[in-house]
Structure 1
Amino acid sequence: MGEPSAEGIRIRLFAGLREQAGWSEHHWPAPAAHPHPTPRQLWLALQLPGELSSVRVAINHEFTTADTPLHDGDELAFLPPISGG
């Protein structure tokens, strides 16, 4: 897809999480009052299903923690555990 937005945060959901939430991509505008939210704060604000502790978090294609501050233009991805066989 395209490059991260110059303003706000691009949030992407994958696999079963995407299906449970009913969307795959969302744009979160960076509010002036709190310009550097964390993935944990956005997870709660978006009321995403399941437990964040079981989900991998990536910012700009690099795995990180749920408490890493986000910045304008970042791409945040939530990746649920995937089972296969």
Structure 2
Amino acid sequence: MKDIEVEYYAILREERGCKRESTTTTAQTPRDLYIELQKKHGFSLSIDNVKPAINDDFVDWDHHLQTNDKIVFIPPVTGG
């Protein structure tokens, strides 16, 4: 089990109802974690429309998660 800090932006924040949360997970990758959270919270965005970042760096979906990582799932955003 890993303790992970998750931050949400835009529609994911709206759907989750909070800016950040701590979670304990068995997920090994951002892909595993997003799928887990999508099922738990009912996120509408498919994984193809989200970009993961861990500890302030963009990563691949198959990047290995470590305990105490801070992960952000970045949805498409627009604006000026």
* SS in structure 2 of the partner of residue 46 of structure 1: helix
Aligned residue in 2 for 1:52: 47
Q: How does 1:1-85 map to 2 (within 5 A)?
A: 8-30=3-25, 34=26, 37-47=28-38, 48-85=43-80
Conserved 8 A contact 1:12-1:25:
yes
Q: Normalising by structure 2, report the TM-score.
A: 0.79
Please identify which structure carries the higher helix content. 2
Conserved 8 A contact 1:21-1:49:
no
**Unpaired runs of at least 5, structure 1:** 1-6
Identity of aligned residues (%): 33
RMSD (Å), alpha carbons: 1.7
> Deviating runs (4+, > 6 A) in structure 1?
none
Please identify which structure carries the higher strand content. 2
Pairs aligned (count):
75
C-alpha separation in 2, matches of 1:49 and 1:74: 24
**Unpaired runs of at least 5, structure 2:** none
